[in-house]
Amino acid sequence: MSETVYANARLVLEEVVIEGHLVVRDGLIAEIGTGAAPRAALDMGGDYVLPGFVELHTDHVEGHLYPRPRVTWNAFAAVTAYDAQIAASGITTVFDSLRVWPDKRAVGMDGDAPLLAATVREAGAAGVLRAEHFVHLRCEVTADGVVEEAAALMESEGVRLISLMDHTPGQRQFMTEAQFRSYYKKKSGMSDADLDIIVADRQDAHARFARPNRARLVEMARGQGIVLASHDDATDEHVAEAIGDGVAIAEFPTTDGAADGSHKAGIRVLMGAPNIVRGGSHTGNVAAESLARRGVLDILSSDYVPGSLLLAAFDLPNRVPAITLPQAVAMVSANPAAAAGLTDRGRLAPGLRADFIRVSAAGAGPAARAVWRQGERIS
């Protein structure tokens, strides 16, 4: 039996913050108490101790695999560097969000999902990963070959979460064609004539493939117990479709109505933590803070900046005083764990995994000083 006691900590529990100690035994939280530790202990210096974060939607690995346009880095090195940054950000469980978008017409949109999933698996088997990794397939339902590629990955890699994306210009994330054009013009520098062709192609692909592909992916996920997420829901019809499909998570709803409808139906609403930190959406859609104010925000995801979870957890109670620090922390730990069906983690509570973060709130903001997963120091 191995036991370590951590004392002099401000423990962020489910509903309150207490000053006390934490006992870890064999990788699990054994005891939590107020006041001085019962026996010899490591001093946490009065810092906060938070549950390890559970991240459901991050594409941050892509920045390590493609550090410059047209440069593909060594995949194993990219994955381990990404994992190190994830762990140092306080994330102890991460769903690597891999794009499945095999479509000749959407140049540059297909990620390297098979390569990345296999590399994460190999790195995990080699024992070099700090966080626990799961596969989240981001499936673009308008892409011709999406079902086949997703099915192959389900078979070879195991998949825990599937999101159903549709980035057709004129709906969801790009409610107007103009939004789509301005986003891609900035991103790719394409001419208006090139964009005309792409818009027409995408609309054609949507008409042909979106409905049947979505139906097949939903059926496959249900058959294998894979959690489903909807993506960029904008209208009442989108929400009704998500309810009918048994969706558990609404990722990045783009309107107040879609967020309210999803939350009311028991679908957990996920928004980007950068959206909280920056005070709005980078694509000009709904602000996560306004959802938090109305009590319909359930989960924050780091999206493209791993460190944004910690920043947002401390920032949100300042921006929305009705939300306490424990409630904000639950949005990056307990709530995503529950949405993904992970019942063994996400809170500081006896019997759960000893996944926790030591956070200093001194200086300009919160900083993760140390991180443990199943009782082992990983950062």
Strand ranges for the chain from DSSP E = 3-12, 17-25, 28-34, 42-43, 48-51, 53-58, 91-100, 132-140, 161-165, 227-231, 249-251, 268-272, 299-301, 356-360, 367-373, 376-377
Residue 293 burial (CB count, 10 A): 15
Please state the separation of Cα 10 from the chain's center in Å: 26
SS3 85: helix
**Contacts with Fe ion: how many residues (CB under 5 A)?**
2
Task: Report the nearest approach of Fe ion to the CB of residue 174 (Å).
Answer: 8
- Residue 173 is a binding residue for Fe ion (CB under 5 A): yes
Task: Report the nearest approach of Fe ion to the CB of residue 356 (Å).
Answer: 32
Tokens read off for 68: 């410059």
Residues numbered 62 to 81 that lie near Fe ion (CB under 5 A) are: none
- Residue 149 is a binding residue for Fe ion (CB under 5 A): no
Beta carbons of 91 and 129 less than 8 angstroms apart: no
Distance CA(310)–CA(95), nearest Å, equals 17
Beta carbons of 132 and 52 less than 8 angstroms apart: no
Q: Which residue is nearest to Fe ion (CB)?
A: 173
Whichever of 31 and 256 has its CB closer to Fe ion, that residue is: 256
Task: Report the nearest approach of Fe ion to the CB of residue 172 (Å).
Answer: 7
Stretch that binds Fe ion, among 33-41, 183-191, 229-237, 254-262 (CB under 5 A): 229-237
The residue count for the chain: 379
Residues 232, 289, 303, 315: which binds Fe ion (CB under 5 A)? 232
Whichever of 232 and 289 has its CB closer to Fe ion, that residue is: 232
- Residue 255 is a binding residue for Fe ion (CB under 5 A): no
Whichever of 173 and 333 has its CB closer to Fe ion, that residue is: 173
Whichever of 112 and 233 has its CB closer to Fe ion, that residue is: 233
SS3 69: coil
Whichever of 173 and 327 has its CB closer to Fe ion, that residue is: 173
Beta carbons of 150 and 111 less than 8 angstroms apart: no
Stretch that binds Fe ion, among 3-11, 14-22, 43-51, 226-234 (CB under 5 A): 226-234
284: DSSP letter: S
367: left (phi > 0), else alpha (psi -120 to 50), else beta? beta
Q: Which residues pair with 301 in a beta bridge?
A: 272
Task: Report the nearest approach of Fe ion to the CB of residue 167 (Å).
Answer: 6
Stretch that binds Fe ion, among 37-45, 61-69, 172-180, 297-305 (CB under 5 A): 172-180
Whichever of 157 and 232 has its CB closer to Fe ion, that residue is: 232
Task: Report the nearest approach of Fe ion to the CB of residue 163 (Å).
Answer: 9
Task: Report the nearest approach of Fe ion to the CB of residue 227 (Å).
Answer: 18
Stretch that binds Fe ion, among 63-71, 167-175, 273-281, 341-349 (CB under 5 A): 167-175
Binding-site ranges for Fe ion (CB under 5 A) = 173, 232
